[in-house]
Amino acid sequence: MNAVWELPFYYRLVCRLDLQNDKRLVFLVNGLCLLIGVIMLIPLFFSKFLYHLMEQTENLLDCSLPLLVLGFSMIVYMVLHEWIHGLCIWYFSGRKANYGFTGLYAFAASEAYFPKKPYIIIALAPIVVWGVILTVLLFFVTDVWFWVVYLIQVVNISGAAGDLYVTWRLSKLPKEILVRDSGVVMEVYSAE
């Protein structure tokens, strides 16, 4: 079942997840992001990456190029993450997603009401697609560039904390729910 554009009259709001204004939820999702990031950064401290960067301070170009690429790649990654959400929104609804940035989150949104399974696919698609691509890429890069790609993977997984949290919450609800995602607020509806 694909998205619908009008809520069936017998559906009622059962849950609202506001990732922007619900202080408890903001703390929870950002705490989850931080926890995932810290756990994933542990291998970095046992590598030669940090030592290599400090060692290269004599040759600023050797040190700064990987850091510049990393910074630029993280920005590009955020755009590509939302683009994957948008592609899935388009696939399941037939209409383009609306994109935005709140200062706290970048988002892809839609006015459509998505069934549970397609919505979970929309939520998890970026972490899966980029997770696979970045993991494969790790096998083809060496030295400092391995850690540049690895740090982008850290951003991929930890930055999807909101998507992971919403998926977890929705997984506990009945399969006939409909979800409307305005970017940072998910409204969940179910039949009475």
* 73-120 pLDDT tens trace: 888 999 999 999 999 999 999 999 999 998 778 899 999 999 999 999
Question: Each residue of 150-191: pLDDT tens digit?
Answer: 999 999 999 999 999 999 999 999 999 999 999 889 999 998
Query: Residue 74 has what pLDDT?
Result: 86
Count of all residues that appear for the chain in the document: 192
Q: How many CB atoms lie within 10 A of CB 25?
A: 18
Q: What is the pLDDT of residue 51?
A: 59
Per the domain annotation, does 73 fall within a domain?
Answer: yes
Position 1 in a domain? no
In a domain, 60, yes or no: yes
The whole domain housing 164 covers: 11-191
pLDDT of residue 143: 74
Q: Is residue 6 part of a domain?
A: no
Residue 58 has pLDDT above 60, yes or no: no
- pLDDT score recorded for residue 63: 61
pLDDT band of residue 2 (cuts 50, 70, 90) is confident
- Cα Rg, the chain, nearest whole Å: 19
Question: Distance (Å, rounded) from C-alpha 18 to C-alpha 183?
Answer: 9
Q: Report if residue 150 sits inside a domain.
A: yes
Report the predicted TM-score, pTM, of the whole model to 2 decimal places: 0.87
Does the pLDDT of residue 48 top 70, yes or no?
no
In a domain, 3, yes or no: no
CB 159 within 8 A of CB 78: yes
Q: Is 172 helix (H, G, I), strand (E, B) or coil?
A: coil
- Please list, in sequence order, all residues whose beta carbon lies within 8 angstroms of the beta carbon of residue 42, skipping any fewer than 6 positions away: none
Specify the DSSP class assigned to residue 104.
Answer: S
**Is residue 2 situated within a structural domain?**
no
The count of domains in the chain is 1
| Domain assignment present for 182 | yes
Q: Which residues is 185 bridged to in the sheet?
A: 18
Q: In percent, how much of the chain has pLDDT > 90?
A: 65
